[in-house]
Amino acid sequence: MSSPSRLQDQSRSIQTVQADAESARAAALLARARTGDRGAFGQLVMLYQDRLYNGVLRMVGDRDEATELTQEAFARGLAGLDGFRGEAGAYTWLFRIAVNLSISRLRKQQRHRVFSLDRPALSSGNGHENQASGLIDRVRQSELDPSASLEARERAEQVVAALGRVDPEYRAVLVMRDVEGFDYQQMAEVLELPLGTLKSKLFRARVALRDELKAYMTQ
C-alpha cells in the first residue's frame, strides 16, 4: 500500500508531465501562428482561454470585464506575434498582457474590486508574509467549507474585501503568488522585474494587506 507522501509525489509528477505537454503544445501552436497560421492561434486561444479568464477575474472581480479583458489580451497577442521573443512560455506571455490590461483598467476606473479565492495559498516566508498568505488560505477554506461558522465566513468576507482595496499592482502579485500559485521566476517574467524587486513588491503587498486587516490579524 502506497503512503500518502508517495501518492502526493506521484500526483505531482503526473501534473508536471501534463503541464510540460501542454507547454510544448502551446509552443508549437505559437510557432505556427507566427508563420501566419491563424487557425493555430485559434487553438492556442482554446487551450488557454478558461485559465486566462479565471486569472483576470481574480484581479478585476467582474465577470463581464474579465471576459472583455481576456478577449483583448488574445487580440493584442495576435497583433503582437511578431514581437514575441520566445523568452517566456506562451501562457506567461499572454498572462503578462492580461495583467497589464487589468492593472490599467483598475487604475483608470479607480474602483475597488472583490474577487473569489479558489486556490490554496503558498507561503515560504515568515512574519508579515505568513500572516497575509495565511489569511488568504483561511478565506479559501471557509469559502469551501459549508459548515464554517458565521464568524469564519464574516472574516472571509473582510479578507476578500481587503484584497479589493489594495493597490492594483499589489493585488496582481498577491493573486499570482497566493491564488494562481506562480513561482517567483514566473512572476518575475510576467511583470518583467528582477527577482529581488519582485520579492520586495510581494512583501510590500502582504504588508498592505495586513494593514487593511489589522482588526482581524489576531482572530
Task: List the chain domain ranges.
Answer: 4-109, 128-212
Distances (CA, A) of 188 to 27, 88, 98, 99, 185: 20, 11, 15, 13, 5
Amino acid sitting at position 129: E
Residue 107 vs residues 63, 71, 120: alpha-carbon distances, Å: 18, 19, 27
Asked if 26 and 47 touch (Cβ cutoff 8 Å), the reply is yes
Please list, in sequence order, all residues whose beta carbon lies within 8 angstroms of the beta carbon of residue 198, skipping any fewer than 6 positions away.
173, 184, 187, 188, 191
Cα 104-158-120 angle, rounded to 5 deg: 75
The x, y and z cell numbers of residue 106, run together, are 483598475
| Reported CATH class of domain 128-212 | mainly alpha
Query: How high is the pLDDT of residue 136?
Result: 52
- Site of grid cell 475597488: 112
pLDDT tens string, the chain, 219 residues long: the values are 556 566 555 555 666 777 778 889 999 999 999 999 999 999 999 999 999 998 898 888 888 999 999 999 999 999 999 888 777 888 989 999 999 999 999 888 765 555 544 443 333 444 444 444 444 554 455 454 555 567 766 766 777 777 778 888 898 898 888 877 888 988 998 888 999 999 999 999 989 988 888 766 555
Q: Are the C-beta atoms of residues 71 and 57 closer than 8 Å to each other?
A: no
> How many degrees, rounded to 5, is the angle at CA 35 between CA 34 and CA 37?
90
Rounded Cα gap, residues 50 and 44, in angstroms:
11
Nearest one of 16, 17, 196, 176 to 95, comparing CA atoms: 176
Fold of 4-109: Rna Polymerase Sigma Factor; Chain: A (1.10.1740)
In whole angstroms, how far apart are CA 84 and each of 28, 79, 90, 184?
14, 10, 9, 22
